Amino acid sequence: MAEYSASTIYPYDKRAIKKLDTLLNQEGIQHDKNLDYTMGLFDEEQNLVATGSCFGNTLRCLAVDSSHQGEGLMNIVVSNLIEHEYEMGRIDLFLYTKCEMAHRFSSMGFYEIARVDNKVVFMENRKTGFESYLQQLKEETAKNSLSASAKLQGAVIMNANPFTLGHQYLLKTAAKQCELLHVFIVSEDISLVPFSVREKLIREGSAQIQNLVYHTTGNYLISNATFPSYFLKDSDTVILAHAKLDVTIFIRIAQALNISVRFVGEEPFSHVTNLYNQIMNEQLEEHGLHCTIIPRLESAGTPVSASSARSALQNGNMELFKSLVPESTWHYFTSAEAEPVLEKIRASKNVIHY
């Protein structure tokens, strides 16, 4: 067997990046822009023969030169990436691969969660990970006294960065149109307002609505595992692929919980969310589910948005901020507890959601 050396490929190493792009293109894999670690296997002549990358807790851009298939190089790549992830403290891992490659990763201890357009497979390293998540959702639902008799069930997924009057209006409006409303709170801590605060403000700001069930999205909905383009700018092609994957997973959740309608707020600002809503509307209808778009709440003729609220906080315009949020959100952001979050918002280069 030939000798190969493993090394990190850094973004500033133009020569190595060119080799990486060539290999990925040769193997029909798009070079994901959202990566935080990339490694490569090089032969004795410094030709790149295999590669793999990570973004958060996902493995992606996995490729082996077709002329080196059968040499066990993918096992070496995946082992290297897993070791890196473990060193970073990431235990629950996910990966993307082409459908024809899924069986290979199954032999490495990964299990399929969902696939999109018969082209991409999403997998994880826990055999019962997704099933355990579905069971958790069912148990959370059963705690609501209305769950046993609720025939029309809906869902809302929100980041609420931070929770505004617009979010509150969306929940109130959606809750009136169904007997039980599942509220999925984006739990990944990548927003300016941390998850613990966002969850607290969502619960406090909607406490008066009786037919809500709260859930966290974990790694399975609008997370960097399934939908990194929600958080970072990327090409429309990648955004659409991630949106399809995320909606495919939501459909499985909806089927498990008997959810028949998903409510979304009208989106006049975010390009990513607009594309997502287009894909969602198409895919839900194909599976007998419905998508209901609720017009945005307006303040002084302008749609209320979390971006506007963050901008007001960054600029110190507390009068404007107060007009955009419920009392509970206002109370938090005028307390000493909020100072670390406020400092982060003030220091941010861009508070406007892409």
Q: Where are the alpha helices (DSSP H) in the chain?
A: 14-26, 73-87, 102-106, 129-142, 165-176, 195-205, 236-257, 271-286, 306-314, 318-324, 327-333, 339-347
Distance CA 35, CA 234 (A): 12
- pLDDT of 2 strictly over 80: no
- Is it the case that residue 49 has pLDDT exceeding 60? yes
Q: What is the pLDDT of residue 354?
A: 46
Please compute the mean of the pLDDT values over residues 26-51 and round it to a whole number. 91
How many residues make up the chain in this entry? 354
pLDDT for 230 beyond 60: no
Cα 324 to Cα 336: distance, rounded to the nearest angstrom = 20
Handedness of CA 272, 275, 281, 284 (dihedral sign): negative
Q: Give CA angle at 141 (139, 160), nearest 5°.
A: 115
DSSP summary character for residue 35: -
Please give the backbone phi and psi of residue 246, each rounded to the nearest 5 degrees, phi first: -65, -40
Q: What are 128-163's pLDDT values in tens digits?
A: 999 999 999 999 999 988 888 889 999 999 999 999
pLDDT exceeding 70 applies to what percent of the chain?
95
Token digits of residue 120:
């991409």
Q: Domain 129-347 is of which CATH architecture?
A: 3-Layer(aba) Sandwich (3.40)
pLDDT digits (tens, 9 = 90+) for 252-292: 999 999 999 999 988 766 677 778 788 888 889 989 999 99
What pTM was estimated for this model as a whole? 0.88
User: Which pLDDT band holds residue 200 (cuts at 50, 70, 90)?
Assistant: very high
pLDDT, position 190:
82
Range 104-119 average pLDDT: 88
Position 171 confidence tier, pLDDT thresholds 50, 70, 90: very high
Q: Report pLDDT for 302.
A: 85
Banded model confidence at residue 229, pLDDT cuts 50, 70, 90? low
Q: What is the pLDDT of residues 236-246, one digit of tens each?
A: 777 777 788 88
From CA 311, how far away is CA 324, in angstroms rounded? 11
Outline which parts of the chain fall under CATH 3.40.50.620.
129-347
Domain 5-124 has CATH 3.40.630.30: yes
Confidence of residue 353 (pLDDT cuts 50, 70, 90): low
